[in-house]
Structure 1
Amino acid sequence: MTEVRRQLFIGGAWADAAHGATLPVDDPATGEIIAHVADAGPEDARLAEEAAVSAQPGWARTAPRARSEILRRAYELILERTDELARLMTSEMGKPLAEARGEAAYAAEFLRWFSEEAVRIDGGLGLLPDGRTRMLLSRRPVGPSLLITPWNFPLAMATRKIGPAVAAGCTTILKPAPQTPLSALALAGILQEAGLPDGVLNVVPTSRAQAVCEPLLRGGRIRKLSFTGSTAVGRLLLAQCAGTVVRTSMELGGNAPFIVFEDADLDAAVDGAMVAKMRNMGEACTAANRFFVHRSVAGAFGRRLAARMAALEVGPGTRDGVDVGPLIDAAGRAKVEELVDDAVERGARVLTGGRTPGGPGCFYPPTVLADVAPGSRLLETEIFGPVAAILTFDDEDEVLDRANDTPWGLVGYVFTQGLDRGLRVSEGLEVGMVGLNTGLVSDPAAPFGGVKQSGLGREGGRAGIEEFLEYQYVAVPVR
């Protein structure tokens, strides 16, 4: 891979921001600035909008097979450059190289999946019940789309949105998180190399999200918003979309329950807990937040989980053998510190971790807390860090009530050897996804998304491309 460009990508060309502004990109393992990237403003956003709107008619007419082959080629290029992309992600986001390589593979799979979905967009022809009219149904792209991605999975969240949009025939403007713009810019270069026409993808990193995004959403030419981020920001964006009735899909916050029943295989439950909690240092919307463990096995589960967490190696993601990299920034670490301190002040016992190390970087140790008291702040908000909070329960109805007592509903995890109970509890959880005896639910072929204040719509799977398609119905009289 050539050197990643640090400019805006608009209309197929690389350009500096209108007023020459740049934003710094830090390495969270050291605090050092690793790059300065063009910092888009409203003028740049208007240029990106114009490029996307101008390219839309031609891209919508492009043959599905042609769209498919571009995505397939981009999939292959990502796999060829996995190590380079992984190092880029690790440098700007902090995750260990092994996890970053896994993310590159995961990101590529979205492009492969939607390359296959591009040629399966269908319609229909049927006779209406009165027998006097034929119904001709076709699918067409929603239109120019604004895609807003988070910093925790900078490559995969971009391909999870770009893949279905491109497959459906939509042009796009991608606004990556300001902490991690390099992965998005690298992806733009790959898609351009794969043959994506000018204007179909435009990338505008910015430190002024509201100034860039709000005019686009209120202007009437952007017809779709796909956002991944916090529920608080999601509410603001929904309000901005209301005036022009922009179609939205939103993957928002989570507060995932992880339920371990008395009949669970504890080894499998601990393995699942390590995945559900420690993927991406706990900085994931799918991360297990509240561990509800049956009273009869809570002690054993806590000891085993604490031993596994304590054995993890913490350090810079580029170093061999490191399992846990830094958190994204000082503010993220301070939030975790405050949540743990609050729980301990309320009586929680620290089984491992709980103390911030000295030295540079935004590191926080894997931490397990037992006897977490109701009302502790970490039970009511996303921790977004490597902290497992264990609570006990006595019966199924009780744990379901407590697990559902949250405005969020993204994912839940259930461990039990009873199939009937597993299915019954899964159905009782107010979430969009359930991991039954597994700590990993994410897959490009599965619909990803939540209920309640965890979001609207789905990404991935067959549902993913539906978010970027509209129906058109043509009534044809029967002669």
Structure 2
Amino acid sequence: MDYLSDLHIDGTWRAGAGGATFPVLDPSDGSELARFAIATEADCLAAVEAADAAFDGWAATPPRVRGEVLRRAYEILTEEREIFAEIIVRENGKAFSDALGEADYAKEFFRWFSEEAVRIGGDFRLSPSGDKRIVVTRQPIGVSVLVTPWNFPAAMATRKIAPALAAGCTTVLKPARETPLTAAYIVGALERAGAPRGVVNLVTPVPTGPAVAAMIAHPAVRKLSFTGSTEVGRVLLHEAADTVVSASMELGGNAPFLVLEGADVDLAVEGALVAKMRNGGSACTAANRFYVHDSLHDEFAEKLAVALGRFTVGPGIDRANTLGALVSLEERDKVADLVTTAVAEGATVILGGERIGGGAFYPATVLVDVEHGSTINQTEIFGPVSALVRFSTVDEAVRMANDTIYGLIGYVFGREDEALRVALRVDAGMVAVNRGVLSDPAAPFGGTKQSGLGREGSSEGILEYLEEKYIGLAP
């Protein structure tokens, strides 16, 4: 397959100013897929300047026209769904079924926000004193820097690009170094869909930090949207503060999965397979801490291990495999080290738990006898490892679920009335009740505490790229 592997600045695909490249590897076997252009700091600032030059024209473009560009991009990604998924598999390593799911999810943001572009509202009313008419309009915030991770290289890009373009903003996309090919393919699709020059730019700086900091400091940049670790998010928030750049942050998670007394165990296991194993566990929404009532713990553990034992591990491009590689050997080793530490702290492995040679593979793993507050219980695993903790009362379960700096998502399985009451007590931006997947372009995605700021998707997502302006008129 031929890949787009250049920078995209001001409507032109080009090499970096320094001429250097970095390898993009297939994590299933370590083979080189392509060499991608390295953006210098000058390239990154040129991308900002291009976005700034294009901003006035794009902001003035009728919402219907902006929406049609997004709609055409959706249609291109629909027609090329298999190609789209294969690019994701090749550089990310995930199973083909997961890649197809991501491709479908990613393109839906273009369709959803193509419709939201024409629904940007405002307000018109008489002031209480009667001395003026209050007119409130919403305008695009400005040049937006979008920084995305490797675990969902397509969906995280479209979830940011789509509302930004729908709102009338111009963008600079900085994808993860591990997965730039997917980002380049999406930018190419938008170019084919009619996005004007300068509206969508793509840069891949190495190292990342100084270049992103330089972009944030540029006076034209008014928005930063970042998905990634809480640690990096804190750094970027500090940098955004210097120029008071509006920041949206979708950060780390440590999702609790509660199985309450009286829950349907088979339904809970079915939900766990999705909540834990979507994307091989490399998801900020992945179920991380399983809290299971004493009365159901052993049955749940046994059935979960049996179900996970059916997963076949191997290269994602082989559609018979249901668990692909992690994105790199480094990520694989992080997961393996967490399991080793858990065992040293008293956990018992009842499934998996051993590295697989010949690529960045790690098997589906189930741990029992895990203590709340142990290392693995406090760490975002980002791999196919399920760590089970027992509880005896609902209050205990809720206390443990909320005992974390994170608050992205939680899962609750139980009798519907009780599960809903518990869901309202879980301190998270999203809670799934008796289901294992929650993400939807039509729903607001985001967390509480140190899991982030702002929301993506839904009608709220476009508001992140708009500023309100109040105009007072004579009555």
Bucket of the pairwise TM-score, normalised by the shorter protein: over 0.9
AA paired with 1:381?
Answer: T
Paired residues for 1:325-344 under 5 Å: 325-344=324-343
Give the whole-Å Cα distance in 2 for the aligned partners of 1:296 and 1:6.
54
Contact 2:405 2:449 in 1 (8 A): yes
C-alpha separation in 2, matches of 1:352 and 1:292: 18
Give the match for residue 238 of structure 1: 237
Deviation at 1:321, TM superposition (A): 1.1
- The residue aligned with 2:104 is 105
Aligned to 1:183: 182
Are the counterparts in 2 of residues 41 and 211 from structure 1 also a CA contact under 8 Å? no
* In structure 2, C-alpha distance between the alignment counterparts of 1:81 and 1:205, rounded to whole Å: 24
Give the secondary-structure state (helix, strand or coil) at the position aligned to 1:29: coil
Query: Does the CA-based 8 Å contact 2:41-2:205 persist in structure 1?
Result: no
CA distance in 1, matches of 2:453, 2:271: 27
Higher mean alpha-carbon deviation, 373-382 vs 200-209, is at 373-382
Q: Are the counterparts in 2 of residues 25 and 33 from structure 1 also a CA contact under 8 Å? A: yes
> What does residue 266 of structure 1 align with?
265
Contact kept, 8 Å, 1:148 with 1:176, in 2: the verdict is yes
1:76 aligns with 2:36: no
For structure 1, which segment, 365-374 or 54-63, has the greater mean C-alpha deviation from structure 2 after superposition? 365-374
Question: 1:89·1:100 contact (CA, 8 Å) conserved in 2?
Answer: yes
* Displacement of 1:357: 1.7
Asked if the contact 1:23–1:206 (Cα under 8 Å) also holds between the matched residues in 2, the reply is no
User: What is the deviation of 1:319?
Assistant: 1.2
Q: Give the aligned length.
A: 475
Q: TM-score scaled by structure 1?
A: 0.98
Mapped pair 1:400 → 2:368: no
Q: In 2, distance between residues paired with 1:378 and 1:310?
A: 21
Kept in 1: contact 2:98–2:279 (CA 8 A): yes
Distance 1:304 1:160 in 2: 35
SS in 2 for 1:340: helix
Task: Determine the structure 2 residue equivalent to 1:473.
Answer: 470
In the alignment, which residue of structure 2 is the partner of 1:459? 456
**Offset, 1:41:** 1.2
Give 5+ residue unaligned stretches, structure 1: none
Kept in 1: contact 2:97–2:319 (CA 8 A): no
- 2:381 and 2:51 mapped to 1: Cα distance? 37
Structure 2, unmatched stretches of 5+, are: none
The one-letter amino acid paired with 1:167 is A
2:378 is matched with which residue? 380
Q: Hey, what does 1:298 align to over in structure 2? A: 297
Partner amino acid for 1:372? V
SS at match of 1:414: strand
CA distance in 2, matches of 1:394, 1:209: 47
Partner deviation per Cα, 1:198-238 (whole Å, 9 max, x = no partner): 00000002222112110111222100000000000000000
What's the Cα RMSD here? 0.9
Question: Would the aligned equivalents of 1:85 and 1:104 in 2 still touch at CA under 8 Å?
Answer: yes
Q: Distance in 2 between matches of 1:21 and 1:405?
A: 46
Match of 2:461, SS? helix
Matched letter for residue 383 of structure 1:
I
Deviation at 1:330, TM superposition (A): 1.4
Amino acid at match of 1:29: S
SS at match of 1:55: helix
Residue identity in the other structure for 2:79: E
1:373 deviates by 2.3
Corresponding letter in the other structure for 1:55:
A
Deviations 1:236-291 (A, max 9, x none): 00000001100010000000000001211111100000000000010000000000
Displacement after TM superposition at 1:377 (Å):
0.9
Deviation at 1:320, TM superposition (A): 2.9
- 1:355 aligned counterpart, secondary structure: coil
Instruction: Give yes or no for contact 1:410–1:431 (8 Å, CA) kept in 2.
Output: yes
8 A Cα contact 1:263 1:418, kept in partner: no
Whether 1:278 aligns to 2:296 is no
1:161 aligns with 160
Which stretches of structure 1, 4 residues or longer, exceed 4 Å deviation after superposition?
A: none
Please say if residues 372 and 400 of structure 2, whose CA atoms lie closer than 8 Å, have aligned partners that are also in contact. Answer: no
Identity %: 52
Residue equivalent to 2:416? 418
Name 1:365's counterpart in structure 2: 363
5 Å matches for 1:347-366? 347-358=346-357, 360-366=358-364
Alignment of 1:52-91 (within 5 A): 52-91=51-90
d(CA) in 2 for partners of 1:334, 1:99: 22
Can you list the C-alpha shifts for 1:14-63, whole angstroms capped at 9, x where unaligned?
11000101111010000111110001110101110110000000000000
Paired residues of 1:343 and 1:373 also in contact (CA < 8 A):
no
Alignment-mate amino acid for residue 198 of structure 1: R
Distance 2:17 2:97 in 1: 38
Q: Residue in 2 aligned with 1:389?
A: 387
Equivalent position of 1:432 in the other structure? 429
Q: Which moved more, 1:199-208 or 1:162-171?
A: 199-208
Contact 1:289 1:388 in 2 (8 A): yes
Rounded Cα–Cα distance in structure 2 between residues aligned with 1:267 and 1:42: 53
After TM superposition, the structure 1 = structure 2 runs for residues 305-324 of structure 1, keeping only pairs within 5 Å, are 305-324=304-323
Q: Provide the C-alpha distance between the structure 2 equivalents of 1:299 and 1:54, rounded to a whole number of angstroms.
A: 62
The answer for the alignment partner of 1:150 in structure 2 is 149
The Cα offsets for residues 293-339 of structure 1, whole Å up to 9 and x where unpaired, read as 00001000000000011110000001131000011111111111111
What is the one-letter code of the residue matched to 2:395?
Answer: D
| Secondary structure, counterpart of 2:71 in structure 1 | helix
Is contact 2:94–2:280 with CA below 8 Å preserved after alignment?
A: yes
Residue type of the partner of 1:433? Answer: M
2:112 and 2:416 mapped to 1: Cα distance? 33
What letter is aligned with 1:224? K
Deviation at 1:96, TM superposition (A): 1.2
Residue number in structure 2 paired with 1:93: 92
Query: 1:85-140 CA distances to partner (integer Å, 9 max, x unpaired)?
Result: 11111000001111111111111100000000000011121101100011111110
- 2:123 pairs with 1:124: yes
**How big is the shift at 1:424?**
1.3
**Superposed, which structure 2 residues align to 1:434-453 within 5 Å?**
434-453=431-450
Amino acid at match of 1:226: S
Matched to 1:80, the amino acid is: E
**AA at the equivalent of 1:329:** S
Give the stretch that moved more between structures: 372-381 or 349-358: 372-381
Deviation at 1:176, TM superposition (A): 0.4
Q: What is the identity, as a one-letter code, of the residue corresponding to 1:306?
A: A
Q: What is the CA deviation profile of residues 390-427 of structure 1, one whole-angstrom value per residue up to 9, with x for unaligned ones?
A: 001011111111110000000000001231x1221111
**Aligned letter for 2:384?**
P
**CA distance, structure 2, for counterparts of residue 444 and residue 325 of structure 1:** 25
